[in-house]
């Protein structure tokens, strides 16, 4: 599982690096979840989105709410979901101010 999480993290980081203006986004993994977040000057983490594994190659996009994570029911590969997130929900990736 550790190798799979590392591969998933690297795949998301690579997809994000292909886009400009997203250098503030940090990627972390925990089990079958890949989380995109940013950290402010005080060290407070702000979640932007996360991907939860459904099958070997299919993931689901989830968005943060005040208390937990809300599924969007948008599924695809990690690369596809990064593209959807950046293109359809750019407001979700804005830097924390």
Supply the pTM of this predicted model: 0.91
DSSP conformation class of 31: T
- Give the span between the Cα atoms of 39 and 31, in whole angstroms: 21
Is the pLDDT at 93 greater than 90? The verdict is: yes
- Give the span between the Cα atoms of 38 and 4, in whole angstroms: 23
Q: Scanning the structure block, which residue is given the tokens 């925990």?
A: 30
pLDDT band at 1 (very low <50, low <70, confident <90, very high): low
CB 34, CB 48: distance < 8 Å: no
Q: What is the pLDDT of residue 41?
A: 85
Rg, Å, the chain Cα set: 13
Which residue range is the domain that position 82 belongs to?
2-93
Q: pLDDT of 3-59, one tens digit each?
A: 788 899 999 999 999 988 899 999 999 999 999 999 888 889 999 999 999 998 999
The helix/strand/coil state of 26 is strand
Q: pLDDT of 69-82, one tens digit each?
A: 999 999 999 999 99
Q: What is the pLDDT of residue 86?
A: 95
Q: What is the pLDDT of residue 5?
A: 86
Task: Provide the number of structural domains found in the chain.
Answer: 1
């Amino acid at each position: 599982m550790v190798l799979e999480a590392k591969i998933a993290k690297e795949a998301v980081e690579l997809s994000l690096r292909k886009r400009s203006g997203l250098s503030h986004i940090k990627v972390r993994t925990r089990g079958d979840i890949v989380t995109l977040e940013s950290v402010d000057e005080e060290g407070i983490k702000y979640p932007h989105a996360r991907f939860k594994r459904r099958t070997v190659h299919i993931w689901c996009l989830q968005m943060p709410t005040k208390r937990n994570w809300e599924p969007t029911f948008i599924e695809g590969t990690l690369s596809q979901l990064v593209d959807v997130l950046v293109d359809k929900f750019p407001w979700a990736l804005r830097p924390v101010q």
